[in-house]
Amino acid sequence: MKLSLGFSPCPNDTFIFDALIHHKIDTEGLEFDVYFDDVETLNQKALKGVLDISKLSFHAFAHVAAQYALLDSGSALGFGVGPLLICKDERFLDPSQLERSSPSIGIPGVLTTANFLLGIAYPNLQNKVLKVFSDIEESLLSGEIDLGLIIHENRFTYAEKGLSRIVDLGSFWENLTGCAIPLGGIVINRNIDPEVQHKVNRVLRKSVEYAFANPKSGINFIREHAQEMEEAVMYKHIELYVNQYSLDLGTEGRKAIDILFKMATEKGLIPEINQSLYLNP
């Protein structure tokens, strides 16, 4: 059976999926048509139900939970992994400037968890400009935008380009809730046969286990798709976003996701969800 699968070209995703798509593990008869897209493109595809299996932001998942279920493996949650709000002009390091000047902010997608966290921390910052995540730093440097909301490997490159951090929104979330921050997960279309859904869940876990046991196995695949080609940076990225929650959400991972959705629902940022977010037993 062949299924369509979408994930980002970022090192954490290519690290996780390498063994699965290159048959380094037993895929139990499953084949995959793979699509590489940035997270906001994947979010928009999920709204249209384009893919059978997809990585997407948890914020976006809230809008498609009736159509997609969250798999136990493959998610990006953790401590110290949140998006950063950065600037070139250091006057924006003064919190009062953020309130007074209505700065323009490059965001990596309307439905990203990063944008959701920005809305919680700075609800008055509304002058948002949609950007591909990898273009935000350059847009800041050119003066096209005043602030940038960065994710993925840009966490490791902004300082060397002379940009400054205003706030770590991951730390903001952790202090607010005491939970790991849920960034993105792997979902599967609920219309697919339940037996196949659970088969995908098993195979994905095997892929993550293989990656942990053989961390250099997928280096060529990871490098081929990475925005930042230095190996040390790629593995820093992987270490930050791939952890025990990527292997299995567990009780704590599900708790963090449930709190995120409860908070977002109370603030009117997402629709109320009347079903389980997760695979049926």
Among this protein's residues, is 198 annotated catalytic? Answer: no
**178: helix, strand or coil:** coil
Between CA 205 and CA 198, with CA 43 as vertex, the angle to 5 degrees is 25
Cβ contacts of 251 within 8 Å, gap of 6 or more: none
Tokens of 238: 């992987």
Is 3 in contact with 31 (CB distance < 8 Å)? yes
Annotated binding residue at 57? yes
Q: Residue 56, annotated ligand binder?
A: yes
Annotated catalytic residue, options 152, 198, 225, 237: 152
* 55 strand-pairing partners: 186
The secondary structure of residue 142, as a DSSP letter, is T
Instruction: From residue 13, give the alpha-carbon distance in Å to each of 86, 142, 237.
Output: 24, 30, 10
Q: Is 55 annotated as a binding residue?
A: yes
The answer to whether the annotation marks 134 as part of a ligand binding site is: no
Q: Which value, to the nearest 10 degrees, does the dihedral of the CA atoms of residues 174, 178, 180, 182 take?
A: -80
Q: Would you say 62 and 273 are in contact if contact means Cβ atoms under 8 Å apart?
A: yes
Phi-psi region of 74 (alpha: psi -120 to 50; beta: other; left: phi over 0): left
How many CB atoms lie under 10 A from the CB of residue 237? 24
Q: Which amino acid is at 260?
A: L
CA nearest neighbour of 159 among 141, 134, 177, 144:
141
Relative to beta strand 76-78, strand 181-189 is antiparallel
Catalytic residues: 152
Which segments are annotated as binding site for substrate? 55-57, 113-114
- Residues within the annotated binding site? 55-57, 113-114
